[in-house]
Structure 1
C-alpha cells in the first residue's frame, strides 16, 4: 500500500503537471493578447502620425515584436517546451523595447535631444509586456519581467543622463523655487531623475502585484480542483440537489450520531452464476447499466446511494438529514425500482436478451452514521441492526418467493408519516432471520409474473 509520503509525491507530481499545462496554455493566451495589443498600437500610430520613414520604422519594430512572440508561441505548443523560453522571449522584449524607447528614431526628420525621449510617456509601453507575463500563470516569470523592466529602464535612463549636455537637478527638485523648476522643465536636455525613479518603483510594484495575482490564481485553481474532487465523491452517493447543499458545508456529514432512517438493499437474482459463465467485460457492462438505472431511481426519491456491493446496491433515506417522509419514500423507491426493471426488461427482450429479476429488502430504524476513513479516503458509513435486518430481508425474498420484503417498522413508520398511505404489500407475519434471536415481522410484495433470472448481458 502506498505510504503517505508516496501519496504526497504523487499529488505534487499531478499538480506540477497541471501547472505546466496551464503555463503552456497561458503562453498561447499571451501570444494572442500580445497580437491584439500590437494591432491596436499599430492602428493608433497609423491614425495619428504622418506616414513617412519614421512611422514605418515604428511599425517595423512592432512587427519584430510580433515575430518574437510567434517564436514563443510555436515553442509553447510543444508538450516538452523548455522552461526557459518564456524568460528568453521576455528578456528580448524588455531589452528591445527599452532600446527603442530611449534612443532617437533614426528616420526622424528632426533629431531631438536624448532627454526628450524620456518625456514622451513611452515608458508605459513597458508595463504592457510586464502584464503580458502574468498570462503565463508563472509567478517567477511575472517577478522576473517586473525586475528586468526596472533594471533595463534604469540603465536606459543612466545612458541618457551620461549624454553630453544632459541636465539633472543638483538638489531635490521640489525644494527649488517654482521659477527655477520651470526653467529646468523648459530645458530640452533636462532629465527629471525623481520622475524616472518613480517609474522604476512603479514597474517594480506592478511586477510584484502581477506575481501575487498569478500566485493567487494558482491557489484558487488548486482549491477548485479539491472542491470538484470532493463534489465528485459526494455525487457518487447523493442526488444532485443534495450535493449542492453538502458542497457548501464545511462539515457536510456532520458529527457521528444515532438517527432513525430507512435502509434498502436491491440485488440481482442469479448474478453469481452469470458472472462465472460470462466474460468480465459483459459482467461489468451489466453491472454499470443496473447500477445506473437503480441509482437514478434512488435519486428521484431523494435517497442516498450508500454503497455498491457487487451486484447489490444499498440506499438510505434520511441521510444526511432526516425528513418527514423517509419511510414513505423508501417504499415508493422499492416499487419504482421494480417498475424501472420491468421497463428495462422490455428493452432487453426486444433485443433478444432474457429479462432480469431483482429482490429488494428494506427496514426502518435507528443506525449510527458518520464519516469514516482518513483524510485521503473519507467516506460516509451507516451501521447498526437496521442495516443488517434490511440486508437479511433482501435475502429472504427468495425463500418467500417475493420481489420486495419490508420490515414492519418501515411500514409502521410510513403509516405514521401519512395515515392514508396505500400499500401494495401484504402482511406475511413474523419470520426468523439469520443472525437474530427475535423474529422480524415482514410485509411482502409480489410482481404480477415472475420474469426469471438473468442469462445474458445487454
Structure 2
C-alpha cells in the first residue's frame, strides 16, 4: 500500500514540476499528446466559463438592475478577456510552465476584487464583512473545479494556491476598513446567553477567525483532492497507453493469442502448459536457387509477400503464428488454449496457403517470373508450451515430438512429390471433429506406412499431390469443404 501511495505522490510531483526523469521518445510523444489534450480541455473549460458568466450576468441583471450590475459586468469582461488570452498563449507550441501559475493568479485576483471591493455605483454600501459571505466563496470553489477539467494537476494546485493567497489578501483588506473588527471570543461561546451569542454571530462588522480559517482549509482541501484525482487519472491513462504499447510490441514478435497471454503474465517465465494441438510447417521449395537468381532486395520482397499471405491464412483460421523460419513459417492451432475444431482450422489454413500461392504464381507468370512452390506438413499430438530463456530475454516455445514430426512431414513432401502432407494422427482428429465426414480430404491419397526420421514406428501419411507445372496455368481446383 505504501508503494502505491509513493507512486501516486511521485506522479503528482512529476506532473506539478513538469515531468519526471524519463526522456525516451515514447514518453516525449506521450507528453506531447497530454499537452494537446490539455489545450483541448482548456478550450472546454473556457467555454464553460463563458456559459457561467452569461448565467451570472443574467442573475445580476435581474437581482440588481442598472447601474449596480455595471460594476460586475466590468469584472466579468476582464475575466472573459483573461480566458481569451489563455486560448491565444497556451497553445501546445506556445505553452510555458509560468503560464500555469500567472493566469490562475490573474483570475483569482479579479474574482477576489469583485467580491471584496465596494461597488462604486451603490450609494448605500453594506458593512464590508458582509461581502465575505459563504455564497461568495463558492465562486472561488467553482474556478478550482473548472481548472480540474484542464487535466493538469499543476494548474489545479496553482489555482488553489492563488485562491488561498488572494482570498487572504481580500479578507485582510476587509479587516482594515473602518469599524471592522477581527478575531474571536476568548471565552466559551456555549456559556454565553442565547441572545448575546446570536448578536455575536450575526454582527455584520465582525470578521471571525472561526469563519476565515475553515474557508481557507476548505479551499485547500478541494484543490488538493482535485489535483490528486487529476494526477491519478493521468497516471491510469499513461499506464493504459504503456500497456497497449507493450501489447502492440509483443504482437510484432508473437501472434495475437500469445501476445495476449504474455501480457497477462506477472512472472517473466510464466507457467508451463501441456495440451494437444495441431502443428503446421510451411516452406518454399527450392528457395535457395531462387535467392541466387535475384538481388537481395528482390529476395526480401518475395519473402515479405509470401510471409504476408501465409500469416494471413493462419490468422483467418484462428491459428497462432509461432515463428518465421527463413522462407517458411511454423504455426499451431489449439494454442495457447485448445478449441473444438483445431484440426479443421489447421487444414483450412493449409488450403488457404495453397490458394494464396496459386494466386501469387498467376501474378508472377504475368511478370514472366519463376513460379513458387509451397510445401506444407501438419501433425496433431501432445505439446509442451512455455517461455524459455531468462529474465532478460524470453521466447515462447512449443516443444515436443509433435513439432518434430510436423517438420519432418513438411520436409518429406519433396520426396513424395506432394504439396501437403498430413499424419494419420491428424486425420483421426479431423475425422473426430467432422463426425466421420471424409470430404475434406477426398482429393488426398493415403500412403502405406512410411518411415519418419527420428521415430521408431512407421506412420501412415496422407498427401495432396503437387500438380505438374505447365506452360499455361490452370485454374485451381475447388477446395473440399469441411463440415
Q: CA deviation at 1:403?
A: 1.0
Matched, 1:142 2:156: yes
* Map of 1:67 onto structure 2: 81
The within-5 A match list for 1:20-419 is: 20-49=32-61, 50-79=64-93, 81-119=95-133, 121-168=135-182, 169-171=184-186, 175=190, 176-232=192-248, 235=251, 237-238=254-255, 255-275=271-291, 286-343=302-359, 345=361, 356-373=372-389, 378-418=394-434
**Residue aligned with 2:126, SS:** coil
CA distance in 2, matches of 1:192, 1:221: 44
Superimposed CA distance per residue, residues 401-424 of structure 1 (whole angstroms, 9 cap, x where no aligned partner): 211112333223333445514123
CA distance in 2, matches of 1:226, 1:102: 48
Residues 81-90 or 290-299, more deviating: 290-299
CA distance in 2, matches of 1:68, 1:410: 75
Q: CA deviation at 1:373?
A: 4.8
**Aligned partner of 1:15 among 22, 27, 36:** 27
**Aligned partner of 2:445 among 415, 426, 432:** 426
Q: CA deviation at 1:264?
A: 0.5
Q: Tell me, which stretches of 5 or more residues in structure 2 are unaligned? A: 1-19, 472-483
Q: CA RMSD in A?
A: 3.6
Superimposed CA distance per residue, residues 137-157 of structure 1 (whole angstroms, 9 cap, x where no aligned partner): 333433333233223212321
CA distance in 1, matches of 2:470, 2:91: 58
Q: CA deviation at 1:163?
A: 2.2
Residues 99-108 or 168-177, more deviating: 168-177
Q: CA deviation at 1:306?
A: 1.1
Residues 284-293 or 80-89, more deviating: 284-293
Q: CA deviation at 1:287?
A: 4.2
Matched pairs, number: 444
* Map of 2:478 onto structure 1: none
Label 1:14 to 1:238 Cα distance change in 2 as closer, same or farther (>3 A): closer
CA distance in 1, matches of 2:422, 2:467: 18
CA contact (8 A) 1:23 1:138 kept: no
Superimposed CA distance per residue, residues 17-64 of structure 1 (whole angstroms, 9 cap, x where no aligned partner): 413531442133123312322332223323442553443332332232
Label 1:239 to 1:426 Cα distance change in 2 as closer, same or farther (>3 A): farther
CA distance in 2, matches of 1:254, 1:421: 39
Q: CA deviation at 1:217?
A: 0.9
CA distance in 2, matches of 1:374, 1:91: 55
Superimposed CA distance per residue, residues 58-87 of structure 1 (whole angstroms, 9 cap, x where no aligned partner): 233223223323333334324363222212
CA distance in 1, matches of 2:100, 2:242: 29
Length-normalised TM-score, structure 2: 0.78
**Residue aligned with 1:159, SS:** helix
Label 1:105 to 1:270 Cα distance change in 2 as closer, same or farther (>3 A): farther
